[in-house]
Chains A and B, each alone.
Chain A
Amino acid sequence: MPIAHIMASGMTGLRAAGDLVARMQFSKSMRIGEAKDYVAKKLNVSAADLSDEYVMRGVREELDIGVITSVPGCAKGIAAKMNIEKLLDIEINSCAKFRKTIGQ
């Protein structure tokens, strides 16, 4: 059933930009329109492009913020999140914890 919602209404996560828009809703309590506009501006795409897998695949690979398939050499896991932090100008808790762990 969650997949039915994802297909009907969701932003499809790493396939497009669902995780990025969700991060702005949760880190800044942004409503959907504001969150999409914020992310679109940071990615230099239109708000409609944020759900477009064709556009976002290239953007995510270029910015190295995590892609849905296992591309050798691309940032994965916490490495991708550290790039997302810089891109969206937010602090992600696990990244802050990771920096503290390695003494940065």
Chain B
Amino acid sequence: MAKEYFLRMGDGEKIFMTKEQIIADLQDGSADAADLATVPTLSDDKLDKLLEIITNPSRIVGVEPGMEVPVTHDIGAIRIDGDQGNSGVGIPASRLVGSMMHERAFGADTMELGHIDYSFKPVKPVISQECQTMESCQQNMVIPMFYGAMPNMGLYYTPDGPFENPGDLMKAFKIEEAQASMLHAAEHGIRDMIWINQRLYKVGSDGTNFDTIGAAGDSDLYASLNAIEALRKEFPNMYIEAGMAGELVLGLHGELEYDGTVLAGLWPHEQVKLIAKAGANVFGPVSNTNTSRSSAWNLARSVTFVKATVEASTIPCHVNMGMGVDGVPMLETPPIDAVTRASKAMVEVAGVDGI
């Protein structure tokens, strides 16, 4: 009987595969990404390296000494005091205490402050509270401390916001009205993101992590790019990280452009050029995990997307590696064996500048 190795499905379930089956999935996953984004497949030596990482018999793996990279955060101390909706563990602690725990106890390279909703729009009514907490964090902490939030343009549409829901309009074949609604929402989103970050920066924030850009489609990316451009112009030294929601920019509007480039349909290696042009310091590429495929397939696919992005980029790339993206299983408690293998592969094969 052929030797079998334990892997994970994209949903985290333990599976067993032979070496030949793993190689076939690695090749298939890489070919899928290459075909979709029109980027090169992984070379044989890179696939061999992935095979070596995946079949390592140890439960936990790590990068070779000297290859470590800085790690940025998603959601910050809400991980400590938040509820399950934010994958929080519900420990009653202030955000300052949670952030200091990450700095002093967990060895985080950077940290961020975030509102419990983790979207920009709800921050407006509580901006003074956010500024006060940011000031406390900056007084007490040493590592770079960002403000993190999602552009989340979905909150600007009915029933949560003032603009008619584009989905409802499109269902009624009111395409132009849907596009107008998305543009109006984007204009308000740009205004809000600038206003919030102006205030946080003026009380000492290191900068901002724009998280899950594009979650509401191309208007979400349009708003983020324009907000980043305006903030960079006003604050040349602001730290700005721009991370994506998915591998492909969904063309809900379909005709929005930035710097003469249509945003709909952009893949990570194309997104990074606009993010850099807008003025961000660091880009967070994303590739989505397919829960019905193996970790070998998912990891090879993600590494193919991200390697092409790193090579096309002029700014550092901190790959997004939370639950359900970039080779990490779609599970709230992703198995450590799968997480550390994906982590090592992104550094040693894709060549990322950070995670």
Contacts and interface: CB of A to CB of B under 8 A. Distances in A.
A90 to B, nearest CB: 8
A5 interface: yes
Contact of A9 (B68, B138, B141, B202): B68
Contacts of A57: none
Task: Give the most central of B143, B203, B281: most A CB within 10 Å.
Answer: B143
Contact of A8 (B206, B314, B339): B339
Interface in A13-62: 13-15, 18-19, 21-23, 25-27, 29-32, 35, 47-48, 50-52
B142 A26 contact: no
B103 interface: yes
Interface string B125-143: 0000000000000111111
Mostly, the A contact residues are helix
Interface in A60-81: 65-66, 68-70, 76-78, 80-81
A18 B201 CA distance: 23
A11 B71 contact: yes
A102 interface: no
A3 B105 CA distance: 10
Contacts of A52: 65
Interface of B: 60-63, 65-74, 79, 102-104, 106-110, 138-145, 201-207, 237-241, 281-282, 314-316, 321-323, 328, 333-334, 336, 339-340, 343-344, 346-347, 352-355
Interface of A: 1-15, 18-19, 21-23, 25-27, 29-32, 35, 47-48, 50-52, 65-66, 68-70, 76-78, 80-81, 84, 91-94, 96-98
